[in-house]
Amino acid sequence: MHELVFVKALQFTACLTGTAWGRYQTLWYNAMGLSPMQNGLLRTVGLSAKLMAGPIWGVMSDRTGKPGLMLVGSALSCAVCLECLRHSWAYSSMAILVMLKVLRSGGNGVGTLVDIITLQIIAVNKREGYGLQRLWTCLAWGVGSALSGYLIDVFGFGAMFLWTYGGTFLLCTLLMLRQAPSPTPTLSPLSHTEQAYPDRQPPACGSFTSSQNGPAIKIERVSYRRLVGPLWPVLLGGVLQGVAMALVEQILFLQLEIEFHVSKAFIGNLTLVGTLTELPCFAFSEQLIARYGHRRLLLCSQATLALRLVLMSQITPGLLVLIQCLHGPCFALFWSTIVDSVNKMAPEGTKGTAQSLLSTMYFVVGAGMGSTMWGAVYQSYGAATTYLLGLIALLLSAGLVAAGHRPQLHTNGEKLKPECPV
pLDDT one-digit tens code per residue, 52-111: 776 677 678 777 888 889 999 999 999 999 999 999 999 999 999 999 999 998 888 887
Environment class of 1 (CB within 10 Å of its CB; exposed 0-12, middle 13-18, buried 19+): exposed
Task: Report yes or no on 193 lying in a domain.
Answer: no
Task: Report yes or no on 206 lying in a domain.
Answer: no
Q: What is the pLDDT of residue 344?
A: 80
What percent of the chain stands above pLDDT 90?
41
Beta bridge partners of residue 409, listed in sequence order: 416
Task: Report yes or no on 52 lying in a domain.
Answer: yes
CATH code where residue 231 lies: 1.20.1250.20
Task: Report yes or no on 216 lying in a domain.
Answer: no
Tell me the C-alpha distance between 300 and 198, whole Å.
Answer: 27
Structural domains in the chain (count): 2
Conformation bin of residue 25: beta by default, left when phi > 0, alpha when psi is -120 to 50: alpha
Residues 161 and 309 in one domain: no
415: CB partners within 8 A, 6+ apart: 408, 409
Tell me the C-alpha distance between 264 and 256, whole Å.
Answer: 10
Residues 23 and 126 in one domain: yes
Beta bridge partners of residue 209, listed in sequence order: 218
Q: What is the pLDDT of residue 387?
A: 96
Q: What are phi and psi of 409, to 5 degrees?
A: -105, 140
Task: Report yes or no on 283 lying in a domain.
Answer: yes
Task: Report yes or no on 208 lying in a domain.
Answer: no
- Between 283 and 274, the higher pLDDT residue: 274
Task: Report yes or no on 207 lying in a domain.
Answer: no
**Do residues 396 and 314 lie in contact, with contact meaning Cβ atoms separated by under 8 Å?**
no
**Do residues 402 and 238 lie in contact, with contact meaning Cβ atoms separated by under 8 Å?**
no
Q: What is the pLDDT of residue 252?
A: 92
Q: What is the pLDDT of residue 316?
A: 86
Residues 149 and 263 in one domain: no
Task: Report yes or no on 252 lying in a domain.
Answer: yes
Residues 301 and 158 in one domain: no
Tell me the C-alpha distance between 331 and 283, whole Å.
Answer: 13
pTM for the structure as a whole: 0.69
Residues 342 and 421 in one domain: yes
The residue from 183, 208, 233 where one domain ends is: 183
Outline where 156-223 has alpha helix (H): 158-177, 192-195
Whether 32 has a pLDDT exceeding 90, the answer reads: yes
Rounded (10°) CA dihedral 160, 163, 165, 167: -140
- Between 283 and 130, the higher pLDDT residue: 283
pLDDT band at 374 (very low <50, low <70, confident <90, very high): very high
Whether 15 has a pLDDT exceeding 60, the answer reads: yes
**Do residues 338 and 196 lie in contact, with contact meaning Cβ atoms separated by under 8 Å?**
no
Residues 13 and 120 in one domain: yes
Which range among 210-224, 288-302, 337-351 shows the weakest confidence by mean pLDDT?
210-224
The residue from 183, 209, 239 where one domain ends is: 183
Question: Which domain does 36 fall in, by range?
Answer: 1-183
Residues 304 and 362 in one domain: yes
Residues 89 and 233 in one domain: no
Q: What is the pLDDT of residue 154?
A: 94
160: CB partners within 8 A, 6+ apart: 20, 21, 24, 28, 148, 151, 152
> Mean pLDDT across the stretch 128-150?
82
**Do residues 278 and 332 lie in contact, with contact meaning Cβ atoms separated by under 8 Å?**
yes
Tell me the C-alpha distance between 101 and 95, whole Å.
Answer: 10
The residue from 152, 183, 214 where one domain ends is: 183
